[in-house]
Every structure is written in C-alpha cells, then in structure tokens.
Structure 1
C-alpha cells in the first residue's frame, strides 16, 4: 500500500472496512484468534487492489461496487469477529456493520437463506449471516454491546437500500425484544423499546406507501413511556435514548455516495403482484397473493405481534413477569402502528387484520 493510499484501498467499502479490520487485528488475542487475524490481513490485502465496479449498480452484489467473490471474502472476517464473543473484538465489527448499513453500502434484499448448504454461497447469504451474528451479540451481557447491536439493527431497517424480509425481519424484532426483556440496564431497555417503536413506524409507513423511499417521523421517547416503563427512567435516560434514536434515524452519507438504481429496482419488484407463501399456524394463512413484498412482510409482522400479545402463562409459571412485559410491549407496538395508520389499515381491504385486532381485544381485555 502506498503512503498516499488510505487503509482499505480506494473503494468506498474499503474506506469503511479497512480501519475496522485494522482495529480488530489490534484488539484481538493473536494466539487465540489466529484464524481471525489471518482473515483480516487477507481481506485488507484484497481491499488494496479492489476498486468500485463501474457496471450498472442495479446488477451489483449487496456490497456496493464489489464483485460476488470479493464481497464474500471481505465480509467473512467481519462475521468471524462478531462470532468471537470477545467485546473488544465485537465492538469494532458492530461499528463497521452500522456504517455499512447507514452509508448505503449494503444494498440488497435480506431473507433467511435456504437450509440446503451450498459450496458457493451467495453474497446475499453472507449479509444474512452478518445480521444473524449481530443479533447473537445481544446475548453477550455487555451493556455497550447491547446498544451497538440495537444501532446496527435499526440502521438495517432504516436503510432504503435494504429490504429486510420474512424470518429475518422477525429475527431482528425478536432480538430487540430480548434486549428489552432481558437487559439489566434501564437506559438500554428504554433504547430497545424506542428502537422497536421506530422500526414499526418505518416498516408500516412503507406498507402504506408501498415504497422503500418514504418520509417517516421519529419516535418521541417521552411520549412512548408516558403510560408504562416509567420505572426504567434513570435520570437523563429518556434524553439519552432520544439522542441515540436521532443519531441513527438522521444519519446522512458523508461520502457523497451516488444513489444507485437498486432502489428503483426494488420499487419495480414490489409493484409486481407476487404471492409468497408465509408459514402461519394452521388456519391463519391469509391469501397474500396480489400484495407486494413490502406489504406481505408488514402484514406478517403485524400478525406476529398479535400472536405475541396473546401468549398466556403456564400453570407452573402463572406469575411470569417477563411474559407479561412482553405482552404489554406487543400491545404498545400495535398501538404505535394503529396511531400512525393510513388508508391501508382504515379500509376494509384486509378484513383478516381486523379479525386479529378483535382477537387481541377479546383475549387480553375480556371485551
């Protein structure tokens, strides 16, 4: 690498990945994680020779400007770092993941990959593995890591260049639930609840407009905690959570990255009337044919929230406080959705959704 060349090479992805991989190498225990060190060094060498691909961005791989093989190669050490379970190594990997999403460098549709193993996995499956590894970091029990995980997950949902679908969307929401329900830090729990509410606003604003490119409002943390979870407020926790949320929602690309044609491609794909099978419980599979991917996944998420709100304690654990808090959180998120509802939710176009709302009211409140 020449003295005038930045760490990570000349590509836009390299500008983000290079410093992060270098920090991982410096933070890692070399003997314990020799394979990770070797992978980071190899990725840095690769990035030195990679330039942004000038071909049509709509046909590019999920990592901006890189080929499929290069994408898989440079993401692998990032995934390995996230899987290391060492907070000092995980932290720069989470920060790098956040910037890849927030700067629009990851551009793709993410869903759970097929279970059949492939000798040549697609770069899309590497993006799912990245998300999956980020979600697992929430279980490390480190408060700073919990916030970093929330930051990455919201940035992935927020990005107009990333369509998070199906089980991957549920996986992200579940991981935020786990931080809220299992975290020991009140501020982190407020942040987790606020992130979930913000995700609902983003997802369902897109459902209303059937588009990835939408304007959406930022959650008011103080209003969100008006009726519940006041006990979590630790001094300036609400303001900390609001600043945390604003930082992610309002982030702008400082790199001046040109908007690719991928968003236009997503708009085209979502305008097609395609029905994708969704795995509901018996008798609950509504006919979703004729709905775009954006709306299919919004309806699926809505129904999952309804199901979570209707879970009951077992006889052995009748006073299950975590289950009760989870039910209340689900109802609050449903309220966020309905408070921001538009014509899609107010019309009779989807009567099965109103059936679900009726079930929630009857089962939870005995109306």
Structure 2
C-alpha cells in the first residue's frame, strides 16, 4: 500500500473497515489467532482494489460493494467477534457499530435464513455479551441500539427478540450498576423505536428519546453509581444522534442506497409484497411479536425450588416497565388493534 493510499482502500466501507481490521491484527495473539490475522490481511488486500459502485447489488448488505466483497470484508470481523478474546472483540464491535450508525449496512435481518451475513453478524454481537467485561457489554448495547435505530435496516422476528433478550441479560447480570442502567435504557429506547414505527408503519420516523431519570423513578435507584444516570443518558443520546457521516472522510462518498419502507427495499407500498403473510405489515407484525413476548415475560412464574428468585422478579418488573413504555408511546392504531387487545 502506497503512502498516499488510505488504509482499507478507496471505498467508503473500506475506509471504515480498514483501521478496524488493522487494529484486530495488532491486538491478536498471533499464534492463537493466526487464521484471524491471515483473514484480516487478505481482507485488507482485497479492499485496496474495491471501489464504490453506483450500481446497487440487492443481495449485498454493504452499500456500494458487491455481495462477494462484503462477505470477504466482514468475514474477519465475524471471526474476531466469535473469538471471545476481548482485545480483538472490542475493535470488531466498534467496527460493527460504525457500520450500522453510519448507514453503511442496509437490508432486512430475519431468522428465516440463518446463513445470511447480517443475521450472523447480529447473532455474533449478541453472544459477545457473555464475555462479561464492562467495555464489551457497553459495546454490545451500543451496536444493538444502533442496529434497531438505523432506518436502513429492518430487524425482524426472532432476531429482534434475540436483541431484546441480550439486553435483558445485561440488565439482569451486568458487571456493574451503570451497565445495568444502560441496558434498561437501551431496552426502553428500542421499545420507543419499534412502536413509533408500528404507529407510522414506516422505518423513516422521528424518534423521541427516553429519560433515564424517569426510568429509575420507581425501581433500580440502588443501581445509580454517582453519575450513572448522566452517563447512561449521554450513552443513549450519542447512539440516537449518530448521523450518516463521520471522521476521516467517510461521509464524502455519496451513492444511492435503497430506503426501507415497511421492509421493502424499494420503498413502495404494502401492495408490493411487504405484508408478513397474515394481513399485517412486517413492521406491525414484529411489534405484535415483541409485545406478546413482553407479556409472557411479565407473567413468568418461579419454580417451587426457587420460589424467591430475585433475578426472575427483576425480569418481570422490567417487562412490566417496558410494557408501560410501549403503552405510553402507542398511538390510536396500536391501541385499537384487536391482536394487542386479545393479548392484554
């Protein structure tokens, strides 16, 4: 690579991926992660020759490059996430966060085909929460909220439920009170995003911000560690405020990206196949699925052997609080939907 050449090549995605792959190489244990290091170097070499294309590959999850190039570039990131080695997981998570927050990743993420690249990416990020290190937990929460927030991504079905479950697990077993408050705040913000979209039946909507202080009004005050509330509010606001642009010239390259409208990449109306198959749009169908799961979690009973299960109790209380967030933010369409009335 010449001195004048940007690490990661000339493409917008490459300029973001390049520094992350380079950091993964530097942080890896070379003997233990020789395959990962080799994959990162190969991806960097490949990205040097990849340029942004104005012709959209509908199968590619990364704007401006082909599916094969996207798979080659994201392969090492997946390997780093799956390594469970914090020093390489951390830059990989940061890379995925930027991909979502800058709108470089786009498309529909569902569990109908678990082989799809974006599904594997989200699943790998969720698994990283089990590492139980403070920066990793926060990084996972940051990625998951950015993914749900992005108007260029529609996360559906069990994939959406898995994201919520991961945030639940951080809330219930996070390494400290601050991380647990962040997890609760992220969950509440996800509810606001999902059910605002349900009301408008579109991913392109204006989203209000949750108030961390109000979330802790009745419960979890004991988790507040000095400036935790201030930190968590800024944490959520920073993710929500992330724009499609960034440092190092990442925002200077413009190219067309299909906007999602109710899960349809061409942004057309419901008559063009964006219904879920049961007469409801994909967005509203997923809102119903999430609402139903929250109701189930709030009614989960403890076993006779563990009748005083405090973790289960906290989970039930959290579910009820999130249901309140849903109802407070639900509009007339959501409140009058027969399916929600039946569940309630």
Q: Give yes or no for TM over 0.5.
A: yes
Matched, 1:75 2:98: no
Separation in structure 2 between the aligned mates of residue 238 and residue 298 of structure 1, nearest angstrom: 28
Matches within 5 A, 1:103-114: 103-114=102-113
CA distance in 1, matches of 2:323, 2:211: 16
Q: CA deviation at 1:250?
A: 0.5
8 Å CA contact 1:272–1:292 kept in 2: the answer is no
Measured at CA, do residues 106 and 273 of structure 1 come closer, stay the same or move farther in structure 2, by a change above 3 Å?
closer
Counterpart residue number, 1:155: 146
Q: TM-score, normalised by structure 2?
A: 0.94
Q: Quick one: distance in 2 between partners of 1:271 and 1:240? A: 44
Which whole-Å deviations, capped at 9, do the CAs of 1:144-202 have from their partners, x for residues lacking one?
10000000000000000000000100010000000000113000000000000000000
CA contact (8 A) 1:273 1:291 kept: no
Match of 1:346 in 2: 335
- Distance in 2 (CA, whole Å) between partners of 1:85 and 1:270 is 42
Q: Is the 8 A contact 2:54 2:256 kept in 1?
A: no
Query: Once the 2 structures are TM-superposed, how far is the Cα of residue 114 of structure 1 from its aligned partner?
Result: 3.3
Once the two structures are TM-superposed, the CA of residue 258 in structure 1 deviates from its matched residue by 5.0
1:26-81 deviation per Cα after TM superposition (whole angstroms, max 9, x unaligned)? 00000010000000000000000000122147x36111111111111111100000
Write out aligned runs for 1:26-175 (5 A): 26-56=26-56, 59=58, 61-114=60-113, 125-175=116-166
Q: Assess, with a 3 A threshold, how the Cα gap between structure 1 residues 249 and 324 changes in structure 2: closer, same or farther.
A: same
CA distance in 1, matches of 2:208, 2:88: 34
Partner Cα distance (2:122, 2:7) in 1? 25
**2:231 maps to which of 235, 240, 244:** 240
Please state if 1:328 is matched with 2:317: yes
The alignment's TM-score, normalised by the length of structure 1, stands at: 0.88
1:307 partnered with 2:304: no
Number of residue equivalences: 335
Instruction: Give SS of 1:234's match.
Output: coil
Q: Secondary structure at 1:262's aligned position in 2?
A: coil
Contact 2:40 2:76 in 1 (8 A): yes
With over 3 angstroms needed to count, the CA separation of the structure-2 counterparts of 1:307 and 1:91, relative to structure 1, is: same
- Bigger shift: residues 265-274 or 168-177: 265-274
Separation in structure 2 between the aligned mates of residue 213 and residue 63 of structure 1, nearest angstrom? 19
**5+ unaligned residues in a row in structure 1: which ranges?**
116-120, 278-288, 358-367
Identify unmatched segments of 5+ residues in structure 2: 246-250
**C-alpha distance in 2 between matches for 1:186 and 1:130:** 27
The 2-side partners of 1:62 and 1:100 are apart by 10
Aligned partners of 2:274 and 2:29: how far apart in 1? 49
Alignment map for 1:201-216 (pairs within 5 Å): 201-216=192-207
Please give the alpha-carbon distance, in whole angstroms, between the structure 2 residues aligned to 1:63 and 1:269: 24
Name the structure 2 match of 1:183: 174
Superposed counterparts of 1:211-360, under 5 Å: 211-254=202-245, 255-256=251-252, 257=254, 260-263=257-260, 265-266=264-265, 267-268=267-268, 270=270, 272=272, 276=276, 289-347=278-336, 350-357=337-344
CA shift at 1:299, angstroms?
Answer: 0.6
Secondary structure in 1 matching 2:260: helix
Residue deviations 1:7-43 (CA, integer Å, cap 9, x gap): 0000000011000000000000000100000000000
What SS does the corresponding residue of 2:108 show, helix, strand or coil?
A: strand
CA contact 1:111–1:165 (8 Å) conserved in 2: yes
- Two-structure CA RMSD over aligned residues (Å): 1.6
Aligned 8 A contact 2:198 2:334 in 1: no
Aligned pair in 2 of structure 1 residues 149, 52: CA closer, same or farther (>3 Å)? same
Deviation, 1:211, is 0.4
